Every structure is written in C-alpha cells, then in structure tokens.
C-alpha cells in the first residue's frame, strides 16, 4: 500500500484540511495500517492530521494519547534507521 492509498483508506479519520500520511515507505505504511486498525477499534472517534518526517525524525499528529503518538514515532524512526 502507498501513502496515498493509506490516506484514502483512512479518509473518514483524516481531519479536514490536513494531508495525512506523507511518508511513502512501504514498511512504515504497513506498520501504521495495522496500528490504525487497532486504534480505531479501541477509539472509534480517532482522527489524524499529519504523519511526516521533520528534521530527520518522524512526527505523528493524532487525537490518541501522546504516549501512543510517541510510540508510533519511535517505531517509524527505527524503521528508517535500518
């Protein structure tokens, strides 16, 4: 799945006027796809706005707990360090 396909799949959870996932890396997209499915199951009101690389590390902006966003950022950064 590409980042564009990911954004289409989760368009109902994408906050208005935001671009969503901007990291087109297959392993990152697959990881976030699995994580979003679990998060939406627990929190149907879940929304995301941006997931991007900034200054060499990832940034995840969602309505989830900050600890969950930090967990996702850490894993994305780990994938990029491989």
| Residue 19: predicted pLDDT | 96
Prediction pTM value: 0.94
Q: What angle do CA 58, 64, 10 make, to 5 degrees?
A: 75
Strand partners, 14: 48
Give the C-alpha separation, 22 to 1, whole Å.
13
Does the pLDDT of residue 82 top 90, yes or no?
A: no
* pLDDT, tens digit (0-9, with 9 covering 90-100), for 5-53: 999 999 999 999 999 999 999 999 999 999 999 999 999 999 999 999 9
Is 23:3 a contact under the CB 8 Å cutoff?
yes
- Band of pLDDT at residue 68, cut at 50, 70 and 90: very high
């Amino acid at each position: 799945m590409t980042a564009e396909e990911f954004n289409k799949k989760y368009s109902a959870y994408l906050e208005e006027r935001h671009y969503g996932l901007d990291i087109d890396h297959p392993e990152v997209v697959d990881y976030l796809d699995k994580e979003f499915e679990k998060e939406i199951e627990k929190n149907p009101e879940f929304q995301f706005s941006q997931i991007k690389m900034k200054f060499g590390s990832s940034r995840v902006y969602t309505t989830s707990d900050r600890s969950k966003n930090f967990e996702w950022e850490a894993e994305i950064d780990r994938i990029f360090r491989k």
